[in-house]
Structure 1
Amino acid sequence: MTTHSLPSVAIVTPAYNAGRFLLQAIESVQRQTLRNYEHIIINDGSTDNTLDVALSVDDMRITVRTISNNGVSFARNEGLRNCRAPYVLFLDADDILRPDALQHMVDVLEAHPQSPACFAQHIKIPEAGVDPSYEVQRPQRVLPQDKTLWHLLAKNIIVNGGALCIRTEAARAVGGFKTDLKLGEDWEFWCRLALLGDFIPIQNLVAVDYRQTSTGGNRQQRGSILKPNFTAVEAIYAIPDLALRFSSYDLSQQKRKAKIDSYWSSAKSELAHQNYWRFTGYLFAGLIMYPDSILQPKLIYRFLSGAFNGNRRVISKIAKK
């Protein structure tokens, strides 16, 4: 890449006390088959060795900026402001980008100039990473081909920002991430982005390995069993332009689905982290608070299959004892 050429795509990585995993994220970007990129790392006021790790990599495509600690949304917006590329992907500091992700995504956006974004599959991996004994399950979910916004209103169908490549001008046009949201800020941002048009799905591409950490911000912010945190859902349904697209009845139905899905996602997370008592509490409370869950067979299937796949290795180990 010459000093006069623009990168094809930007990767923005917010990093707060991410020294343990940041190098793996950086190296996953360096392994990309698409070589013409810029990687913007925003050190969000870290107090560990995050800055040292970021600066230790000798690569002219990497830009490291340090800001005071203002949260992940502020850091992502700072990265977005500094992008030079026409496309941007937000990769968290503890996740791993698959080698062909950027090339496939850029190709798709080049072929669909009217779409604000494209998205692919993700795979969840344990906190320690993947070793040869760990059976990684390929995603079986079908990405929606159209009506992106409608699907997002009922469920976070993207889950991880590393599986989404966005036109930089579109991300800026909708104002970036809401800095006052501490949970689901990406989901709310994607809903505003989907108001611009459908995202192009890349069904057979696994773009990112999503690390499941026990101290992740999402788990800490989810609220309690009886008082789940639906701040993100409320923020999504406060988006003014939704009322211009859908009836109040349709919005109320999708909002109920979003709360149900968010609740059971929290339950499944507890099971995945082997917090069986909390999972049991979610199960009994959920059947009382959300009895209409049983009227959603797709939700039940995703819940059971996800719980089974996520705990297959644990069950196998118990059976061998």
Structure 2
Amino acid sequence: MKKNQIAFSVVIPLYNKTHYILEALDSVLNQSYPALEVVVIDDGSTDDGVEKISKLNNENIKVFSQKNQGVSAARNMGVEKSIGEYVAFLDADDKWSPHYLAEVEKLIRLFPDAGVYGSNYQCFNKNGLYLPKIRKMDKEVGPYVLPNYFEVCSEGELPFIISSCVIPKKVHEKVGGFPVGESMGEDQDFFFRIALTHQIAYSNRITVFYRSDADNSAMNISIPDQECFYSQRLTRFAHHSFVRAQDKKWLLKCSAAHLIHLASRNIRVGRFDIARRLLMDERCSLKSFKRRYWLANLYVRKLFSFLNYC
């Protein structure tokens, strides 16, 4: 490494994503700002993904295996095995543009004390179509510090995802890493805990591509019928004295956004009673327009379902 060059360790959890892993690795190996190492954690895969990696014969790619414990345990192990000062996370079915790490390096130089360095992202599907984002766009066009991470998250899509963020290794250790044993929302829980005590540096430039239809995505395998743990913790945090007064309502709004999102997913698959229960939670009243929209959607779908049955 050159003097003063920022050392990035890239952590990739791998579980049965043989069809995507080489594309993800290729996007890392072709960065204009090179990573120090790539740490792949095989979380008990049963396909030939690890075999494909070994055939690359690249000394900068290190593979460690563990029994299947979930993505949080894999990411935590990856951080533990890494040697770089900064850890970049990439899911095995996502990919980076060639200038992703260069953009993050710029953020680190500008905001050296931030707890997260995040970048904008674009969704794409198996047909190669890039999907439009619906998140409320920020006015700033250059690198900046998010004024209120919770407010941004409560109003639309997340400003960044796990594959488009870099964390100082010391911050990961300080907040205790990812919650083990939780299959959904574990990354959001991690971001929320950091955002409570640290600034978040952000670039609006789209440098990461998120695969929205991966075969073994947790949300595609099973739609939850209960509020996720991270949302429950957000609600508890909102009533703690250590949370700033201006953040309390946004924490509750983030929780409400989660409940409404779960309700919408359940409505689409015809689980109307579950959706109604979620929408009737008092927190959803904080997002009254969306709540009214999905309640109306719920009753229309129930009516059509009844008429079709008759």
Q: With structure 1 as the length reference, what TM-score do the two structures score?
A: 0.75
Q: Displacement of 1:81 after TM fit?
A: 0.7
Higher mean alpha-carbon deviation, 189-198 vs 275-284, is at: 275-284
In the superposition, relative to structure 1, how do residues 255 and 36 fare at CA in structure 2: closer, same or farther (>3 Å)?
Answer: closer
d(CA) in 2 for partners of 1:237, 1:287: 16
Q: Equivalences for 1:265-280 in 2 at 5 Å? A: 265-266=261-262, 276-278=268-270
Q: Displacement of 1:241 after TM fit?
A: 9.9
Q: Displacement of 1:269 after TM fit?
A: 5.4
Q: Equivalences for 1:1-321 in 2 at 5 Å? A: 1=1, 8-126=7-125, 128-130=126-128, 134=129, 136-137=131-132, 141-143=136-138, 145-149=146-150, 151=152, 157-158=158-159, 160-213=161-214, 215-224=216-225, 228-238=226-236, 242-247=240-245, 251=248, 253-266=249-262, 276-278=268-270, 292=285, 295-296=288-289
Equivalent position amino acid for 1:292 in 2: S
d(CA) in 2 for partners of 1:38, 1:64: 11
Report SS of the residue matched to 1:89: strand
d(CA) in 1 for partners of 2:209, 2:233: 27
Q: Displacement of 1:204 after TM fit?
A: 2.5
Equivalent residue for 2:298?
Answer: none
Q: Displacement of 1:195 after TM fit?
A: 2.6
In the superposition, relative to structure 1, how do residues 61 and 125 fare at CA in structure 2: closer, same or farther (>3 Å)?
Answer: same
Equivalent pair of 2:97/2:207 in contact (CA under 8 Å)? yes
Structure 2: 5+ residue stretches without partners: 139-144, 295-310
Structure 1: 5+ residue stretches without partners: 304-321
CA offsets per residue over residues 236-259 of structure 1, 9 Å max, x none?
344599531234x963x4454233
Report SS of the residue matched to 1:88: strand
CA offsets per residue over residues 100-151 of structure 1, 9 Å max, x none?
111101221122111112211111111x251xxx354367632583122555
In the superposition, relative to structure 1, how do residues 268 and 22 fare at CA in structure 2: closer, same or farther (>3 Å)?
Answer: farther
Work out the percentage of aligned pairs sharing the same amino acid.
19
- How many residue pairs get aligned? The number is 287
d(CA) in 2 for partners of 1:238, 1:277: 30
d(CA) in 2 for partners of 1:201, 1:24: 25
Q: Displacement of 1:152 after TM fit?
A: 5.0
In the superposition, relative to structure 1, how do residues 140 and 113 fare at CA in structure 2: closer, same or farther (>3 Å)?
Answer: same
CA RMSD of aligned residues (A): 3.5
Q: With structure 2 as the length reference, what TM-score do the two structures score?
A: 0.78
